[in-house]
Amino acid sequence: MKKAFLVVLLALVLVCLCIVQAEEFNGTTYNLSLSDMEVAQYINGTSFNITTNEKTDNISLLTPDGKKTVMNSSYSYWRGDNIYRIDFGKRVSGDLVYTVPHLGQQFILPLRDNGSVRLILPPGYTTGDRILGIARPDPTEVTIDKNQTVLTWINPPGQVIEVDYYKTSAPEALKRIFALLAVMAVILLLEYYASLRKLRTISKQVDKEA
């Protein structure tokens, strides 16, 4: 009885540790949809820069207690980058949240700063198939949360994160296509041998008549 209680207690402690670790993610999260991408960048300080490839005008601060505050920022453009400068005048912590357009089934992120990265794929999409698309470099952790694949890199190596993703039904559909192609190839091969045998038979008959 005591042993069973200790096992249950240990399991609860492990669950709590996992929850705490999930809540303590202090990196940048990219939440993809089919038309745009919401970015949540953890901050702790007085002033910050946001650099994006696409323009955004809806930057807000999400505080730890769940409040969202819209803010003003100065904007500049330099060598293809949209740079937003935000100065709070006092130390704040929370997530800077903004949305930028994103189309297609590929995510490419140049790593400008050190820090952890979390990528949430659109609902019903995944990655990891060598034919359909993989994540490079390999994620530190891959989980499923409410039909969404979540990839996490803790201080990722290299200079770029690249992820090709696809519908979860795509591998099964690809297998069916390959199976159909294989059946068609067998049928064509049988027809070829049948035609070859027929030609040989006709050739023998012509030789006999000659």
- Are 67 and 80 contained in the same domain? yes
For residue 80, is it within any domain? yes
- Residues with Cβ within 8 Å of residue 54, at least 6 apart in sequence: 82, 100, 101, 102
Residues 97, 62: contact at Cβ < 8 Å?
Answer: yes
- Are 94 and 173 contained in the same domain? no
- Write out the residue range of the structural domain in which residue 96 sits: 25-168
For residue 5, is it within any domain? no
- Are 132 and 46 contained in the same domain? yes
pTM of the model as a whole: 0.73
For residue 107, is it within any domain? yes
- Residues with Cβ within 8 Å of residue 31, at least 6 apart in sequence: 37, 38, 39, 40, 120
Domain count, the chain: 2
83 phi/psi in degrees, rounded to 5: -115, 125
For residue 135, is it within any domain? yes
Q: What local confidence, expressed as pLDDT, does residue 149 receive?
A: 96
Residues 41, 66: contact at Cβ < 8 Å?
Answer: no
**Which residue ranges in the chain fall short of pLDDT 50?**
5-9, 11, 13-22
- Tally of residues, the chain: 210
pLDDT tens digits, one per residue of 20-66: 344 568 899 999 999 999 999 998 888 888 888 888 878 999 888 88
- Are 142 and 97 contained in the same domain? yes
For residue 1, is it within any domain? no
- Are 126 and 198 contained in the same domain? no
- Are 73 and 139 contained in the same domain? yes
For residue 13, is it within any domain? no
Q: What local confidence, expressed as pLDDT, does residue 166 receive?
A: 95
